[in-house]
Amino acid sequence: MNFQQLRSIREAARRGYNLTEVANALFTSQPGVSRQIRELEDELGVVIFERNGKRLTGLTEPGKGILKIVDRLLIEAENLQQASLEYSGQTSGTLSVAATHTQARYALPKVVQGFRAAYPDVRIALQQSAPEHIAEWVLSGKTDIGIATEGLSQFPDLVSFPCYRWSHLIVVPDGHPLLEHTPIRLEDLAKYPLITYDKGFTGRGHIDAAFAKAGVATDIILTAMDSDVIKQYVALGLGVGIVASMAFDHGRDKGLRAVEASHLFASNTTRLAVRRGAYLRAYAYEFILQLAPDLTRADIDRAMAGEEAL
């Protein structure tokens, strides 16, 4: 048994049993992947994958149990490498962070600044994507830390931590009729075309839930992942924007006005997630604590050990 065999098993399950994709991910050939899988099955005396001819089609029942063990073994192998670097006193490395655009653009700059002051030799690889992709990247080990508002707490193999709460704002051009309404109601908003986030991004679920609960129909004419894009189209007069409170700057966003909307939409919690069972380097703890200063290292350790939910 060797690690290449274990990686072949894991990647085959991750990549929908497409051996061409598995071979590309592992920098080997498709026949080489097939051989690694067959050799492990022969050594264990168990058929791990269901097949249609030479094509893999799924996991057998024993294979489902074996895959869980394979995942744990490979995670511990990665943890061993990280621990060796930590115990040898190395303070350099790369911290991979995946976040939605709003978090990366508005929440992380000060965090990264503080982190770099504490760990100047650590490189940060910042990636942006949708919450479901962020979760997948953390689960697969492609990224160390994921940050998003929606969805991260729904994955049992992720440990997530609350970072901070925030609400939405209504954004309109100067002189817009909505500025005469105090307070603005959902019915007032629904009289205008709306521009807001894509589904699954930046608290969009709370926006939809509020209108649905009130029985108010909306005309959402444009959606985007990027708060700046939303504000740009609002500035052009195409509709009324609903954005995260952190995304509006009264000094920078000239020609636009922001109106409090916390009375209309439920508040949101930005969460940070790491893979359950992962070994955290000291600089990973530092990054988490920079983003969630109410946590302590002991809080993080207890959550990682499954002793309490946050």
Query: Where residue 175 falls among pLDDT bands split at 50, 70, 90?
Result: very high
The confidence score (pLDDT) of residue 277 equals 83
Task: Give the count of alpha carbons within 13 A of 203, CB side only.
Answer: 28
Q: Calculate mean pLDDT across residues 169-177.
A: 96
Q: How far is 228 from 57, CA to CA, in rounded Å?
A: 44
pLDDT digits (tens, 9 = 90+) for 38-72: 899 889 999 999 998 888 999 999 989 998 888 88
Query: Torsion angle of alpha carbons 8, 71, 87, 116, nearest 10°?
Result: 90
| Contacts for 47 with CB less than 8 Å, ≥ 6 apart | 41, 60, 62, 63
Query: Per-residue pLDDT averaged across 168-174, rounded?
Result: 96
Going by pLDDT thresholds of 50, 70 and 90, the confidence category of residue 305 is: confident
**225 and 101 Cβ atoms separated by less than 8 Å:** yes
pLDDT at residue 140 tops 90: no
Closest CA to 75 of 155, 5, 151, 6: 6
Indicate if the pLDDT at residue 117 is higher than 80.
yes
The pLDDT value recorded for residue 273 is 95
Kindly calculate the radius of gyration of the chain based on its CA atoms and give it in whole angstroms: 23
Domains along the sequence of the chain with CATH = 3-85 (1.10.10.10), 92-164+269-305 (3.40.190.10), 168-266 (3.40.190.10)
The dihedrals phi and psi of 202, each to the nearest 5 degrees, come to 45, 50
The answer to whether the predicted template modeling score (pTM) of the entire model surpasses 0.75 is no
Is the pLDDT at 149 greater than 90? The verdict is no
Contact by Cβ (8 Å): 147, 99: yes
pLDDT digits (tens, 9 = 90+) for 181-237: 888 999 999 999 999 999 988 899 999 999 999 999 999 999 998 999 999 999 999
- Residue 167's pLDDT is what? 95
Percent of the chain with pLDDT over 70: 96
pLDDT at 172: 97
The DSSP secondary-structure symbol of 107 reads I
Q: How far apart are CA 293 and CA 105, in angstroms?
A: 19
